[in-house]
Structure 1
Amino acid sequence: MASEAQAGRGIDVLRDAAEGSQMTEQPTTSPPPWHMAGDWFDVCKCAIPCPCTFAQAPTYGDCEGVLAWHIREGNFGNVRLEGLNVLMLGSFVGNAWTREHTDSYAAVFFDERADEQQRAALQAIFGGEAGGWPAEFGAMFGPEMRGMDFAPIRIEVDENLEAWRAEIPGRVMATAEALTGPTTPEGARVQVHNAPGAEVGPGQIATWGRATTDQADAFGFTWDRSGKSSKHFPFDWTGPT
């Protein structure tokens, strides 16, 4: 089970960034009302479909992969966030949903296009200090942070959810195509409603895919594979509650 120290690291997820990372100073006042909605997807080492979305332990007992967020609309008080991207590398052993997991690690990349106010807002939201679902998920996952950086993050999601992709040149490449098969109607998507382990929080629909590229080489995360699980979720968060 994740320790209390790990849970604390989940709430203050970005404060443990690797030494030398350039953090934007966080405000000491209470966070303003905020809202963020867009696309989230992952590619991971689990077999299709990833058991984590069903609140089960990973296929091989441990999981590692790429998590990507594209913000279609968003604000942190008066600070606009639409069009920005965030990407995370993560790994853990065991079932995170039951908090029976260990060895949880993460590294976070924020969109280098963000200005100073936007950077502070993204760090507050994804670091858990601004409340909402990211704070809940961070407290549960409780990762030890390996690093944080601002980087050129490219994320593309087809409007018909036929494919999705993310890239940080030279460091991360994640691409996937919608899962299909001989009995899937043409153009239809394989989806799950009311997922018991939705990484973006309750109330969203998972669209299943197959990873065509899953590569990482950053902050001690190193892998290169394809053919494993991927899924897309829309996300819609509010805070600070």
Structure 2
Amino acid sequence: LTPVALGEFEGNLWAGEAKAVMGMYLDEQANERQREALQMIFGGQAGGWPAGFAANVGEMRGMEFVPITFEMAGDLSTWRVDIPGLVVGHAEALSGPTTPPGKRVQTINPPGSEVGPGQVATWGRSVEVSTKGFGLDWTGTARSSKHIPFDWTGPN
């Protein structure tokens, strides 16, 4: 299942200098049990890393279940998310003169990783962005983007 979070903050969220304003779109393919679990996880009630992240959210503007399409190139060169009428996000991985051919700009254990420690972030920039919802509406290009895979598990 795919979650999409819209958020904004000013200052260093991780140093306690800011609190985020967020809204979340969650995959409509979730069944009732999964919907309840997703709301508990992203609301912080399930504990673990998500609860620590949720403590940095000063205002949660809502969670909605919607159709979400996520695509990622097998070589991590591009990723894209679409929510009809609400979100379009298309990003390309960064590269540079010292990046070996076919490799991506990545960080292991990135500082401030939204999905927790021990992850690999692939850094990119947006080539298309349009978001609408929860009063967090943006359009444009060349915004920062990163792809961070995660697998949160917990008790049954």
CA contact (8 A) 1:132 1:238 kept: no
Of residues 98, 111, 114 in structure 2, which corresponds to 1:183?
98
CA contact (8 A) 1:93 1:101 kept: yes
Determine if the alignment matches structure 1 residue 217 to structure 2 residue 135. Answer: no
Of residues 124, 144, 151 in structure 1, which corresponds to 2:40?
124
Measure the CA separation in 1 of the matches of 2:27 and 2:75.
25
**Gaps in structure 2 of 5+ consecutive residues:** none
Determine if the alignment matches structure 1 residue 143 to structure 2 residue 27. Answer: no
Amino acid at match of 1:94: G
Measure the CA separation in 1 of the matches of 2:28 and 2:153.
23
Measure the CA separation in 1 of the matches of 2:7 and 2:112.
16
Residue 101 of structure 1: how far off its partner (Å): 0.9
Query: Please, what TM-score do these two structures have when normalized by structure 1?
Result: 0.61
Deviations 1:128-162 (A, max 9, x none): 111111111111x1231222211111111222111
- After superposition, where does 1:88-103 map in structure 2 within 5 Å? 88-102=5-19
Counterpart of 2:37 in 1: which secondary structure? helix
Measure the CA separation in 1 of the matches of 2:109 and 2:63.
32
Query: Residues 215 and 96 of structure 1: is their aligned pair in 2 closer, same or farther, counting only changes over 3 Å?
Result: same
Alignment size in residue pairs: 155
Counterpart of 2:38 in 1: which secondary structure? helix
CA contact (8 A) 2:39 2:63 kept: no
Measure the CA separation in 2 of the matches of 1:219 and 1:228.
20
- After superposition, where does 1:1-241 map in structure 2 within 5 Å? 84-102=1-19, 104-139=20-55, 141-239=56-154
CA contact (8 A) 1:175 1:212 kept: yes
Residue 169 of structure 1: how far off its partner (Å): 0.9
Measure the CA separation in 2 of the matches of 1:93 and 1:163.
27
Percent of paired sites with the same residue: 55
Residue 204 of structure 1: how far off its partner (Å): 0.9
* RMSD of equivalent CA atoms: 1.4
Counterpart of 1:238 in 2: which secondary structure? coil
CA contact (8 A) 1:95 1:101 kept: yes
**As a proportion of its length, which structure holds more strand?**
1
Equivalent position of 1:31 in the other structure: none
Residue 223 of structure 1: how far off its partner (Å): 1.1
Deviations 1:144-183 (A, max 9, x none): 1222211111111222111111111111111101111233
Which has the bigger relative contact order, CA under 8 A and spacing at least 6?
1
Query: Please, what TM-score do these two structures have when normalized by structure 2?
Result: 0.92
Measure the CA separation in 2 of the matches of 1:88 and 1:124.
15
